[in-house]
Structure 1
Amino acid sequence: MPTRDNHVNEDDEDDDPTSTLTPKQLEEVRAKALAANAELLKINADIRQFELYASRARARRRMSLASYIFGPTLLLLLYTIFWLPWLNKSTLVAVCIPGFIIAIWCCGAAVKLTKDPGGGPRLKFADGVIRRHSEGELELEIAKQKDTKKLKIADGAFDQKTRRLIYKEEAYADIEKLRTDSKRYRNVNNLLQGILIIGSIAATGASGVASSLGPLRWVVLGLSLTVGIASGFMGYYKYKERSFYLQQTADAIEHEWEAFEVGVGRYKYIKKENLALKEFVEEVHRLKSEQRKRQQNLEQPPETRNAGEL
């Protein structure tokens, strides 16, 4: 817990440097800060816009892939149903006509999305072609905008308080990213765990009757192989641990964010916003560093990882 003496020293260190400037110099500093803030807002808006376009491009790509798989598969299924001898004509009509329309629609959507990929509005490019930005171009543009933002901050266009506020806003975006990554690893772990449980039970049951039914031995072999592969991936890549650490870091950063906003916890006795912001940035930086160390440890080979944990 910070003491009163520490607060006094920190107050001295964080005094406003503009207090020694003349009115004209102060006006110039404020004008420069306003221009820099306006430029920062524009860069942030561009990043959000390109991220939206990239999200739409990924959705169109996934829809195209799903249509390519679902359309022909449905046609093949309808062809198989059509030749089933025990289905009467009325049932075939009720099933095949709607199914055929859906299958043709999926094939048409797949072709259209393949010829018109990407996201965002159609634009005329330097080569004269009117098209959307491709997913790779959007990712590259997002990276360029983020690099521009970092350079603006590093060039001293923003004062220390503004840089800390930028870091604070990026910390909130990091919470969503950490939780998204945690959810992805958790879903993979749950899928493999489900394969492990169902495959183990099915293999045990199938092995009991495999002696009387010869072909079931191959089923038992396939189930055992699937269970072994799932177990190996879970043990080597540590999906559960990755998900847990990512979620833990996201919750810790969110806790710091909320404590800073309402002035509780470590920020209860800090009266000046600059000092509270400084404390917040240091704590979030520590949490991110610890997460990176845990991630690096999990990416090591099992023998190295076990030796480092001893």
Structure 2
Amino acid sequence: MAKFMASPTNTTEMLIQYRQEVEDLKQRIKNRRLQVAGLYGTPILLLAIFSTWVLTSNFLWINSNTPKEVHLAFFIISALLAGATGLQVAAEFHEVHAIWKDRGTSIRKLRLDLELAEERRVLEARSSTPETLNRQASYKERLPGEVARLRKESRHYRRVHLLMQWLVFISSASITAVTAWYDPPQPGKGVLIALGFIVTVVTGATGYFKPRERAFNLQQTADSIEQHSTALDLGIAPYTHDEATNLGNFAATVEGLRADQRMREQQLDQPFQGQQEVI
């Protein structure tokens, strides 16, 4: 856990340092999870590969010798896993080759450090809470990042929707083409089954996850927030009052838009009957 060498005189700098400490601990927890998973998972995988090697040699080639290629493939995989296991054990337990920052530290300990760091940040922020007008001004300055996030998610769901639609189009057209090309169906029967499976799965996934609706809602929320932000900067309706009133109205409006967005996401996650009950 990071220690501060000197007490910052500026409250903003102190809050930034606390924030950096929290983010650092979050990343360390992720890294430690990967380290523990590799430390214990690699030997288990090595044992599974070795067992598969033995069983394959004894049951698949009972009356003949196992091909050399099979032995070579299993040997290479086992050697790589054994090398990875040795490196991870050295990184975890060897003093000289200690390259892991949190070796020997439990994830529970790191989580506790994270909770304490967040608590210190909250207490520091609470003890030096700025005036409401300053908080509202800071809130406005953070909105461009929120708008960018909404637009990014909207583009993601739009691409997913287009990909699904193209899969449906191509598979549906291919079914007709393969049916017309092969008469009798063999060997096109397997192709027809695969194409029909793709159409069914993609159509069902599109109806369940609704990427088009999600993209539309995200884009609409981002546009609305950006519209209100521009109106506030230009001092046009509905933000034609004094600064304090405008910032208060702006924060309330944006939070209402975000709440509506979350409600629409929850409605999309529910079955059709559940959506009707919510509405």
The alignment's TM-score, normalised by the length of structure 2, stands at 0.60
Q: How does 1:33-112 map to 2 (within 5 A)?
A: 35-43=10-18
SS of equivalent residue, structure 1 residue 265: coil
Q: How does 1:95-244 map to 2 (within 5 A)?
A: 129-131=98-100, 152-155=124-127, 157-244=129-216
1:145 Cα offset (Å): 7.1
- CA gap of 1:304–1:270, structure 2 versus 1, over 3 A, is same
SS of equivalent residue, structure 2 residue 166: helix
Structure 2 distance, partners of 1:247, 1:144, is: 37
Output the amino acid matched with 1:257: S
Match of 1:281 in 2: 251
| Deviation sequence 1:108-165 (CA, Å, 0-9, x none) | xxx99xx89xxxxxxxxx99833479xx9xxx89998777655544455322223223
1:288 Cα offset (Å): 0.7
| Deviation sequence 1:47-101 (CA, Å, 0-9, x none) | 88999x89xx9xxxxxxxxxxxxxxxxxxxxxxxxxxxxxxxxxxxxxxxxxxxx
Output the amino acid matched with 1:277: L
Question: Runs of 5+ in structure 1 lacking a partner?
Answer: 1-33, 58-110, 117-125
| Equivalent in 255, 270, 274 of residue 241 of structure 2 | 270
Name which of structure 1's ranges 42-51 and 290-299 shifts more when overlaid on structure 2: 42-51
SS of equivalent residue, structure 2 residue 214: helix
- CA gap of 1:172–1:297, structure 2 versus 1, over 3 A, is same
| Deviation sequence 1:153-205 (CA, Å, 0-9, x none) | 44553222232233223322211221222122112111111101111111111
1:253 Cα offset (Å): 1.1
Match of 1:82 in 2: none
**Contact 2:15/2:125 (8 A) holds in 1:** no
**Contact 2:11/2:128 (8 A) holds in 1:** no
- CA gap of 1:244–1:149, structure 2 versus 1, over 3 A, is farther
Structure 2 distance, partners of 1:249, 1:299, is: 18
SS of equivalent residue, structure 1 residue 243: helix
- CA gap of 1:143–1:295, structure 2 versus 1, over 3 A, is farther
Match of 1:258 in 2: 230
- Identity %, equivalent residues: 26
Structure 2 distance, partners of 1:146, 1:242, is: 32
- CA gap of 1:199–1:277, structure 2 versus 1, over 3 A, is same
| Deviation sequence 1:242-265 (CA, Å, 0-9, x none) | 111011111111122222222223
1:39 Cα offset (Å): 2.7
Structure 2 distance, partners of 1:299, 1:175, is: 22
| Deviation sequence 1:34-57 (CA, Å, 0-9, x none) | 833333444566788999x89xx9
- CA gap of 1:251–1:229, structure 2 versus 1, over 3 A, is same
SS of equivalent residue, structure 2 residue 10: helix
**Contact 1:185/1:243 (8 A) holds in 2:** yes
Structure 2 distance, partners of 1:142, 1:175, is: 28
Structure 1 distance, partners of 2:220, 2:96, is: 49
**Contact 2:25/2:114 (8 A) holds in 1:** yes
Match of 2:263 in 1: 293
**Contact 2:154/2:214 (8 A) holds in 1:** yes
Structure 2 distance, partners of 1:143, 1:198, is: 51
**Contact 2:268/2:275 (8 A) holds in 1:** yes
Structure 1 distance, partners of 2:218, 2:251, is: 19
Question: Runs of 5+ in structure 2 lacking a partner?
Answer: 1-8, 32-82, 89-94
1:209 Cα offset (Å): 2.5
Structure 1 distance, partners of 2:115, 2:136, is: 21
| Deviation sequence 1:2-21 (CA, Å, 0-9, x none) | xxxxxxxxxxxxxxxxxxxx
